[in-house]
Amino acid sequence: MEQAGRFYLGGLKSSLAVAITSLAGLVAICAGQASATPIAIDNFSFERPETLVGTSTLGCPAGWVCSIMQTSMVAGVYSPTAAQYAGGSGPGPFVGPAGMPSYTPGGSDAVFLRAGPREMTVTQTTSELIRSNQIYTMDVWVGHQTNAAWGTSSIQFLADGMLLATSGALADPGAGNWAQYTLSFMAAADDFRLGQRLGISLIAGSGGAADFDMVSLSSQPSVSVDPFASAPEPSTLLLFGAGLLAVAARGRTRSRLNSAI
């Protein structure tokens, strides 16, 4: 009987410990539900200058800065057709303006980069100043035309024009396909680049080509792991209280059973 009583008490303590651990997790989740804040990007879907379907405009898209163009290193805005993006195993065709089929993820245009001996880049510096304990995230669609070679394309974060973080070589989405890629980094409290302007760079590696579209950028506070960082919602406390009552009720039931033995 005494042994059974000690066993039950140990089980109750274990159950309470699990419940308290669960509460700590719930509080941490409640503390971490900060929403992401969008960061403005000029001409994020490369609709300027506007181009006719199946045509292209050579030159850097509005709002962006391109690396020096040479005979084999060019950039421009164009509106592809099924000849470049038939869909294949990837997404597409997309829905464009006025509900018409589009072969870019956003609008009807995209930026194309053709690299030569050196990489070809398109860059934009935002008005965002890098802040401590912030997670910055960039999402961008990258396409591989059916009639172009795929190079070591990548996406990067910049701080006042200097490299901050890089994706490294992106996986080939496959000829005729688009794929979405994400790059994130966290600015620590002691990062020497705090206060510098955040920039982004889209890159087609040497000897290859890549298309880019629908660039989005956001920031979000890093999540604290301190279970007491913020108080849970009243509904969460009620659920936790109900859980403790259930544990106690189960304990009383076991106690009666042990007493009857």
Per-residue confidence of the chain (261 residues) as pLDDT tens digits? 333 333 233 343 333 333 333 334 433 434 445 689 999 999 999 999 988 888 999 999 999 999 988 877 899 999 999 889 876 556 767 877 777 778 999 888 999 999 988 899 999 999 999 999 999 999 999 999 998 999 899 999 999 999 999 999 999 999 999 999 999 999 999 999 999 999 999 999 988 999 999 999 999 999 754 545 444 455 544 454 555 455 455 555 454 544 545
The tally of CA atoms less than 13 A away on the side-chain side of residue 26 is 16
Q: Specify if 228 maps to a domain.
A: no
Query: Same structural domain for residues 120 and 190?
Result: yes
Q: Specify if 57 maps to a domain.
A: yes
Query: Same structural domain for residues 216 and 249?
Result: no
Cα separation, 124 vs 19, in Å, equals 49
Number of domains present in the structure of the chain: 2
CATH number at 182 reads 2.60.120.260
Q: Specify if 77 maps to a domain.
A: yes
Query: Same structural domain for residues 68 and 148?
Result: yes
List % helix, strand, coil for the chain (3-state, nearest 5): 25, 35, 45
Predicted pLDDT at 168: 96
Q: Specify if 143 maps to a domain.
A: yes
Query: Same structural domain for residues 26 and 45?
Result: no
Query: Same structural domain for residues 27 and 81?
Result: no
The tally of CA atoms less than 13 A away on the side-chain side of residue 217 is 24
Query: Same structural domain for residues 27 and 91?
Result: no
Predicted pLDDT at 188: 93
Cα separation, 107 vs 252, in Å, equals 65
Q: Specify if 227 maps to a domain.
A: no
* DSSP-derived secondary structure letter, 86: -
Query: Same structural domain for residues 130 and 90?
Result: yes
Query: Same structural domain for residues 256 and 159?
Result: no
Query: Same structural domain for residues 44 and 146?
Result: yes
**SS3 at position 231:** coil
Q: Specify if 60 maps to a domain.
A: yes
Number of neighbouring beta carbons within 10 Å of residue 60: 16
Predicted pLDDT at 252: 53
Residue 26: φ, ψ to 5°: -65, -40
Q: Specify if 97 maps to a domain.
A: yes
Q: Specify if 226 maps to a domain.
A: no
Predicted pLDDT at 23: 39
Predicted pLDDT at 243: 53
CA 140 to chain centre: 9
Predicted pLDDT at 15: 38
156-180 per-residue burial string, b: 16 or more CB within 10 A, e: under 16: bbbbeeeebeebeebebbebbbbbe
Query: Same structural domain for residues 108 and 194?
Result: yes
Query: Same structural domain for residues 193 and 96?
Result: yes
pTM of the shown model: 0.72
Predicted pLDDT at 88: 56
Q: No. of H helices and E strands in the chain?
A: 2, 14
The tally of CA atoms less than 13 A away on the side-chain side of residue 257 is 9
**Which structural domain range is residue 255 located in?**
2-33+233-260
Query: Same structural domain for residues 98 and 74?
Result: yes
Reference 212, options 60, 105, 136, 62; nearest CA is 105
